[in-house]
Amino acid sequence: MSNKQNTGSDLQGLSRLITDATIGITDVVEAMHKRVIHPPFLPSTPVQYLISNIAALSYKNMRRTTKFIGEGLDKGIRQLNPLLKEIKTTDEREAFRSVINGVVGDYLGDTENPLKITMQFRYQSKAIRLDKKSIEEAYPTINGKILLMVHGSCLGDTQWSRKGHNHGEEMAEEFNKTPIYLNYNSGLHISTNGQKFNQLLEELVKNWPVPIEEIIVVAHSMGGLVMRSALYYGKKEQKSWTKHLRKIVFIGTPHHGSQLERTGNYVDVILNSIHYTKPFARLGKIRSAGVTDLRYGNLIDEDWNRNDRFERTGDQREYLPLLEEVDYYSIAAVTGKKPKSKSNRIPGDGLVNIRSALGQHVNPAKNLHFKEENTLIIYETAHMDLLSSLTVYAKLKEWLISPNL
């Protein structure tokens, strides 16, 4: 993929998404209408059935009209594609696609929507084909010290640049490493992305033009879970790339899930328990598989494929400890000021609880046991601000120049 996106395809994808969303909302309204006309535990009269039948015809026409308009719009945009192909990409469009994929990326994949993101390695917003010639062409200078950056949910490779700072670019220049960025559809299951990432890493290693000395990973938020998932599958399949992995730094990673997603799940349960609000529970189920995986921090297929992902089932993950042969580091943030005394009730960065970011679990058997000297807590910093924090960058530099490197 070049650094120019097909704007026509993006517009087609958006029009299809709007069409499907309109039809979906129509379904919700019709279901709500039926529940008002036919209250529970009471017999319905012929007049009520007549009203329902008339309403059903109206909703059917609404769906048909929406679909007809959507198909016409899709056809019109397709004809404009040749004129739109050469429009340059922008950071705003990249960010938009990343957010849409984070929220409904599994749906985009299932429907082959043009807005879907296909996992790939990138550098300076350009996709890198995994053959030696293409990799060499992507970098003016290249060495065997790979610095791999893995973004979080609803983000993309371009969002590593924030407020004029990019951890990856700064570290690569200062420590003479070759930076490469993963871009992926964060709406897919974490384990789905983990397995694909494992495969891509193997291809990357096999086609790297010079001998590989090390792979160091810096992962933000969900990206840390995707990395841990890839490592699990890589070790299981005895992939060669795992032998080059030296360090992983987790920045704001919800190792044991996010309370925010657990709250969203709670709302689903409440809506489903009340007759008149049950139709609205469908709206809560817009959330992608990637988002619902963040409830507890699912890493492998077995963590989610035995249950309906919208059911309240509790934490049923298989415990995956950190590997001894890899050095792990974790950074957690707190939006408030540092407390005067130690407290277990420090909330976190607005999205990730501090204990989850540090791998601490209420069940000691599930603790990840980061070494104390390999962790950092910073205050007055929100989740996204971790990407531009100079405090974070200073700690990254300290960890990168440790003796074993």
- Domain of 346, CATH number, reads 3.40.50.1820
For the chain, percent of residues with pLDDT exceeding 90: 54
Q: Is 278 within a domain?
A: no
Quick one: pLDDT at residue 119? 97
**When comparing pLDDT for 393 and 401, which is higher?**
393
Residues 157 and 230 both lie in one domain? yes
**Residue 178 near residue 172 (C-beta atoms within 8 A):** yes
Residues 133 and 67 both lie in one domain? no
Measured in residues, the chain has a length of 405
Amino acid letter, 283: L
The region of weakest confidence among 66-80, 285-299, 385-399 is: 66-80
- Structural domain total, the chain: 2
Q: Is 240 within a domain?
A: yes
Residues 322 and 186 both lie in one domain? yes
Q: What is the pLDDT of residues 5-55, one digit of tens each?
A: 455 455 554 445 444 544 454 454 455 445 545 455 556 566 555 555 655
* Residue 302, Ramachandran bin (φ over 0: left; ψ between -120 and 50: alpha; else beta): alpha
**When comparing pLDDT for 32 and 212, which is higher?**
212
Q: Is 277 within a domain?
A: no
Residues 187 and 242 both lie in one domain? yes
Confidence band of 341 (pLDDT split at 50, 70, 90) = low
Q: Is 306 within a domain?
A: no
Residues 129 and 14 both lie in one domain? no
Residues 191 and 322 both lie in one domain? yes
Q: Is 53 within a domain?
A: yes
Residues 135 and 67 both lie in one domain? no
Distance, in Å, from the CA atom of 189 to the CA atom of 393, rounded to the nearest integer, reads 29
**Residue 303 near residue 316 (C-beta atoms within 8 A):** yes
Residues 381 and 249 both lie in one domain? yes
Confidence band of 260 (pLDDT split at 50, 70, 90) = confident
At 167 the three-state DSSP class reads helix
Q: Is 352 within a domain?
A: yes
Residues 125 and 40 both lie in one domain? no
Asked if the model's pLDDT at residue 111 lies above 90, the reply is: no
Residues 142 and 228 both lie in one domain? yes
At 166 the three-state DSSP class reads strand
Residues 19 and 130 both lie in one domain? no
**Which domain does 333 fall in, by range?**
120-257+317-400
For 166, list phi and psi in degrees, rounded to 5. Answer: -140, 110
Identify the residue whose tokens are 């309204």.
29
Confidence band of 259 (pLDDT split at 50, 70, 90) = confident
Distance, in Å, from the CA atom of 7 to the CA atom of 19, rounded to the nearest integer, reads 18
The region of weakest confidence among 74-78, 154-158, 208-212, 289-293 is: 74-78
Asked if the model's pLDDT at residue 255 lies above 50, the reply is: yes
Quick one: pLDDT at residue 59? 47
Residues 85 and 124 both lie in one domain? no
Distance, in Å, from the CA atom of 356 to the CA atom of 65, rounded to the nearest integer, reads 47
Quick one: pLDDT at residue 9? 55
Instruction: Identify the helix (H) or strand (E) that includes residue 162.
Output: strand 161-162
The region of weakest confidence among 153-162, 314-323, 336-345 is: 336-345
Distance, in Å, from the CA atom of 363 to the CA atom of 397, rounded to the nearest integer, reads 33
